Amino acid sequence: MILVFGKTGQVATELQRQADITALGRDVADLSDPQGCAAIIADLKPSVVINAAAYTAVDKAEEDEAQAQVVNAAAPGAMAGACAHLDVPFLHVSTDYVFDGSGTRAWTETDPVAPQNAYGRTKLAGEAAVRASGARHILLRTAWVFSAHGANFVKTMLRLSETRDALNVVDDQIGGPTPAADIAATLLGLAQAMQNGATGGTYHYAGDPQTSWAGFAREIFTQACRDVTVTGIPSSDYPTPASRPLNSRLDCAKLRSDFGISPADWQGGLRAVIKELGV
């Protein structure tokens, strides 16, 4: 049995669409109760556990870091500890926000980490907790997730385009948009590999080619046949409570080398999402 923490999030939704899994929502498995989550694993004795749940409200985390720390660090640490006890693999989704966002080179798994906001700090603490648990694990860092469900950039842009014919969008933040469907497929493949004895470790998985948020927006409107003019602006013109990394590029070579998994084709993934939304 594949046990997934998370039920309504973007990746958890796609996991349920792609495989026969047991997905637990917050009503059953509340990550604000780490030991309760660990007890569920001990009781169900799954063959592999995937944590697709997290505290993802990046700006809110600036004033609620203690709660984000419980959900993003203590909970996965407790889950991984339960998996270590059962000797089953634990897969955990992490983020490019563990880096400081400097430079222009794509981040590798061995680059120094230096999160610049509360969300990044709590996700980094989660990685450390999983590593310290002794569980056989994979930490999968990804970025700029989108799908036909949940709250994400694609759906926001499409909603705004219904009443606007011009938008200002940040163009100095660069990364790889990543379809949730591709993340789910990657996690399922990695779960199988881990069950077959793969070593695991930390890996990066994101979309290709790299682009800016403004470039992403233009592609959304092109594919959706929406006549919207996108003007690129610097991040300084769009201040947020939590600072965003300018460089969210992730080097995915290690994942390709170890497992034969290539970066996601986000433009193809976007076409599938727009079709599903009926745009």
Q: What are residue 99's phi and psi, to 5 degrees?
A: -95, 170
9: which residues sit within 8 A by CB, 6+ positions away? 52, 53, 54, 56, 150
Residue tagged 């034969």 (tokens): 260
Q: How far apart are alpha carbons 194 and 145 in whole angstroms?
A: 24
CB atoms near residue 142 (< 10 Å): 27
CB atoms near residue 59 (< 10 Å): 14
Q: 119 an active-site residue?
A: yes
Q: How far is CA 108 from the centre of its chain?
A: 16
Q: Which residue among the candidates 55, 97, 119, 205 is catalytic per the annotation? A: 119
Active site residues: 119
